């Protein structure tokens, strides 16, 4: 790794960029619907540029910058689960950055559901580190892949205090279905708790 690449790898990929949550909040009509100008997310240009850079001359994808073959769904899911487990138990920055960068690639993102399921089997604690990381991703991520991880973690953690943020994120069509699913999961868990208490 060159000195420049090493220095770049030590800089959090979310630094000095507008969060998608902020973008959505700033582009809502008074009735809560998205303004047309807000429908294009700020990470769109970077996603297009990254996709173009990831193509070899022969049209095959590169896996530059990742420590796992992104076409191997099993390995990617295991990597996601292992990184989440490390974050949940220790809360350190390095695995957060690795996972964040990994999920900016759509191939890794396609393995998110399986990765979350495998992580759930590890019985790692949600508090304090994982929940804080999920909230950070949903509120501060400038990239849609890591934000979707945050939403998925909300659905796993099931804290009613996260509902208001999910409602806001769900205003954008990119996140609507996933935010709705997480919201329904949280509400169902809360209703179940109310029945037990009653």
CA dist 18 to 99, 126, 146, Å?
Answer: 19, 27, 14
Q: What pLDDT sits at residue 195?
A: 64
Q: What pLDDT sits at residue 47?
A: 80
The values of phi and psi at residue 28, to 5°, are: -105, 140
Q: What pLDDT sits at residue 48?
A: 72
Q: What pLDDT sits at residue 100?
A: 97
Q: What pLDDT sits at residue 191?
A: 85
Q: What pLDDT sits at residue 50?
A: 66
Mean pLDDT of successive 10-residue segments in the chain (198 residues)? Answer: 54 95 97 95 84 52 65 95 98 97 95 97 98 98 98 98 98 98 96 68
Burial group, residue 46, by CB count within 10 angstroms (0-12, 13-18, 19+): middle
What's this model's pTM, rounded to 2 decimal places? 0.89
Q: What pLDDT sits at residue 60?
A: 44
């Amino acid at each position: 790794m060159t000195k420049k690449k090493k220095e770049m790898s030590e800089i959090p990929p979310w630094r000095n960029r507008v969060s998608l949550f902020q973008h959505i909040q700033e582009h809502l009509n008074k009735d809560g619907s998205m303004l047309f100008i807000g429908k294009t997310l700020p990470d769109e240009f970077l996603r297009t540029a990254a996709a173009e850079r990831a193509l070899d001359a022969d049209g095959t994808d590169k896996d530059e910058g990742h420590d796992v073959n992104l076409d191997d769904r099993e390995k990617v899911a295991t990597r996601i689960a292992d990184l989440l487990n490390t974050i949940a138990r220790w809360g350190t920055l390095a695995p957060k950055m690795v996972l964040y960068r990994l999920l900016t690639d759509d191939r890794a993102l396609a393995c998110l559901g399986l990765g979350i399921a495998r992580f759930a089997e590890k019985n790692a604690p949600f508090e304090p580190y994982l929940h804080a990381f999920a909230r950070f991703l949903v509120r501060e991520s400038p990239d849609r892949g890591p934000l979707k991880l945050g939403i998925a973690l909300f659905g796993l953690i099931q804290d009613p205090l996260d509902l208001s943020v999910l409602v806001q994120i769900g205003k954008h069509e990119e996140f609507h279905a996933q935010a709705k699913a997480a919201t329904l999961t949280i509400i169902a868990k809360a209703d179940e708790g109310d029945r037990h208490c009653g």
